[in-house]
């Protein structure tokens, strides 16, 4: 796999609005792209924002972080996305606004943001595909990728089993959490049962690798050949878990690009996700945090 071309991330960027009045930039694909930039990978982020103050803030924040902005489209009709986040015993509940700019991403414009047609890794989730136009375009766009990393986020009411299965079909890497695996396969809350369910999903949908995150119970990578497990990483002071899964995904992608083995990917992804749990919101502007990990992991 080439390491000279950037990872392409497609999906929503929005503001998480918390009960205390704080607004924090978010959206799973944006969070992944943000972290990849923190790790000095210069991803191409393809999304759409409104022609409003929130959209302006997103572009400005991306520029300040050194991110490319040529993949972010401007919508003069629909507003920038927002999500109302309430915390229930530390776990986030989401009220996701509809008919917002990212629902109308035009992937026919996406080629303009790419250096060439070679896409070594394409990341996308499932929320951005809640409109049929984006859903269809995303599946077509994915055919240009050497490796696809699909992160299923089952946010009611914005998903159904049929569309989720179609999005997962043929993915090289699929990431789900334990609750999502249960909803997709009706498996039991038992690790051995979840691994069996994951393997059935791999076979049925022709997926190469499944990443299963289990919160405080650690994480697992399942393929046809083997299973790798990571022990839980101790978190001294949990602020919230918003974006922890996105942090995990970003290090999985980083590890793929760097050629790490699956066990190292698991442990390092869990380590980074644990750090994100110790802050409010999903992103951080702390360059030192990323630099420390880059040096520790010898990231190129």
Question: Per-residue DSSP letters for 80-137?
Answer: PEEEEEEEETTEEEEEE--S-GGGG--TTSGGGG-SSS-EEEEEEESGGGGSHHHHHH
CA dihedral defined by 152, 245, 184, 265, rounded to 10 degrees? 90
| pLDDT value of position 280 | 67
| pLDDT value of position 1 | 37
Backbone angles phi, psi at 189, to 5 degrees: -80, 70
Name residues of the chain where pLDDT drops below 70: 1-5, 90, 115-117, 280-281
Query: Could you give the CA distance from residue 196 to residue 16 in angstroms, rounded to a whole number?
Result: 35
Per-residue pLDDT reduced to its tens digit, 21-58: 888 888 999 999 999 999 999 999 999 999 999 999 99
| pLDDT value of position 22 | 83
Q: Which residue has the tokens 């503001």?
A: 15
Rounded to two decimals, the pTM is 0.93
Ordered structural domains, the chain, with CATH: 8-297 (3.40.1190.20)
| pLDDT value of position 23 | 86
Q: Which residue has the tokens 């302006």?
A: 56
């Amino acid at each position: 796999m080439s390491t000279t071309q950037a990872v392409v991330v497609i999906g929503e960027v929005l503001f998480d609005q918390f009960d205390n009045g704080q607004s924090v930039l978010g959206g799973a694909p944006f969070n992944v792209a943000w972290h990849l930039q923190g790790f000095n990978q210069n991803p191409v982020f393809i999304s759409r924002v409104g022609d409003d103050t929130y959209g302006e803030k997103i572009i400005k924040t991306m520029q300040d972080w050194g991110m490319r902005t040529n993949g972010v489209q401007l919508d003069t009709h629909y507003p920038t996305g927002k999500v109302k986040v309430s915390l229930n015993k530390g776990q986030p509940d989401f009220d996701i606004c509809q008919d917002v700019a990212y629902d109308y991403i035009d992937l026919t414009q996406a080629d303009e943001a790419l250096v060439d047609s070679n896409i070594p890794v394409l990341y996308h989730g499932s929320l951005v595909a809640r409109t049929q136009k984006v859903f269809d375009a995303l599946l077509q766009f994915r055919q240009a990728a050497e490796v696809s990393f699909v992160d299923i986020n089952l946010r009611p009411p914005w998903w159904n089993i049929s569309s989720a299965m179609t999005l997962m079909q043929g993915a090289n890497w699929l990431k789900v959490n334990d609750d999502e695996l249960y909803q997709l396969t009706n498996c039991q809350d038992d690790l051995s049962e979840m691994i069996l369910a994951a393997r059935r999903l791999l076979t049925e949908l022709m997926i190469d690798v499944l990443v299963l995150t289990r919160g405080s119970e650690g994480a697992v990578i399942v393929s046809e050949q083997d299973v790798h497990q990571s022990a839980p990483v101790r978190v001294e002071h949990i602020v919230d878990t918003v974006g922890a899964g996105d942090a995990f995904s970003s290090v999985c992608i980083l590890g793929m690009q760097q050629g790490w083995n699956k066990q190292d990917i698991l442990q390092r992804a869990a380590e980074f996700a644990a750090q994100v749990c110790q802050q409010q919101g999903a992103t951080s502007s702390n360059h030192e945090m990323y630099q420390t990990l880059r040096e520790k992991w010898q990231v190129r």
